[in-house]
Structure 1
Amino acid sequence: MSDFNLNEVIINAQKGNKECLGQLINYYDGYIKKFIKLFNLTAVQEEEVYNSAIIGLMTALDNFNVSRGLKLNTYATGFIKKEIVEFIKKELLPSNFKIFDEKANKEITFMSLDAEIDMDNSSIPMLVKNTVGIEDSVEDKIFIDELLSPFAEKEWIKDIYFNGSTVKQIAEEKKVSKSFIYRKKREIFDYIRKEVAVNDYAILN
């Protein structure tokens, strides 16, 4: 978006400017479509779920504060994923749908699909690097460091999601079990969600 300031467009879209909202949707169109492809849907299903992803982006926009220094797409990812998963569960899967996870040796029902669908670690840095306008910034890295500061394992998470390391590699390097790392990931992400929500509420009010 070389012709205008992205933060100004975000602020104007938050104020109800439909033209700016349209520009934002066009700007993040590539990111959203790449994100949708991570769910392994058919071409028709991808088109059907696209509007739900846009709703996720708009919901994030309503709660976003540019003064935090975080990029909108980074903040919006959780909102977009939630809307996509809800659409898949309600519109694309039958109520009795089950899949068998051979690795976990258990059946997964559609009700727990949102907990099971996750981006492959190697897809995340590629998704970020290949999408225009969402490269890492110094502000993002500082923000992430601040959020992860209470956790001794923060470097593990950064290695997994920003350096492309796998859980298996980290487990072998640190001599811990993979299940321990998965537990720490869940603990850290739950903390981040709560922290971001609390801080944004404090700023907006």
Structure 2
Amino acid sequence: MKRTLGVILAGGLATRMGGGDKGRLLIGGRSLMTHVIDRLSPQVAHMALNANGDAGRFDDLGLPVIPDSIDGFAGPLAGVLAGLDWAADKGATSIVTVAADSPFFPSNLTERLKQSADGQVHPLVLATTPKTGEEQLKSGGKGRVNRHPTFGLWPVALRDDLRAALDGGLRKVVAWTDLHDGREALFEAEPFDPFFNINTPEDLVQAEALL
């Protein structure tokens, strides 16, 4: 039996889309969240949705809805913590997180993240893609990959450490993963970045074309 559970992170404020639930936007006549659920479902044992506010608005998805346990908008790490607490109650050892607004993530995401975690006591891996030449120029040559902090493999065993870090004010995902020797799994970004996420109306048009 698979011991890894999946958590869809949908706790963002979607300010560049005018607010609301970005995952409800449509491409190809189906919501982004439906695309994400269909892609993640074969890769994990069970799934949950991390979202705040009225959970009833997601009843049609048939998923448990788990809110952040950290007050205020604490970013994706708060969603990760909520997922880890949920997974602990299920007796699972790890979770894989994905973003609700990224409908094209790899169909072998979980497999590749686990491969990269081989030998780790506490599997902790973030997805990455190579930077383009233009991106490397813009960054002044700093780093050769883009890290995608909402796509990762997270160990239930470190949930109390994460809780303490969030209570202490830490918000940056990579600041916490680096503290625990987090690894990276490199995915190809051709013909397009599979972790492309929809933040603006223009992105939605591009996603429709990619689909």
| Fold similarity call, TM over 0.5 | no
Larger Rg: 1
- Greater per-residue helix proportion: 1
TM-score (norm 2): 0.27
- Give the TM-score of the pair, scaled to structure 1: 0.27
- In terms of fraction of residues, the more strand-rich structure is 2
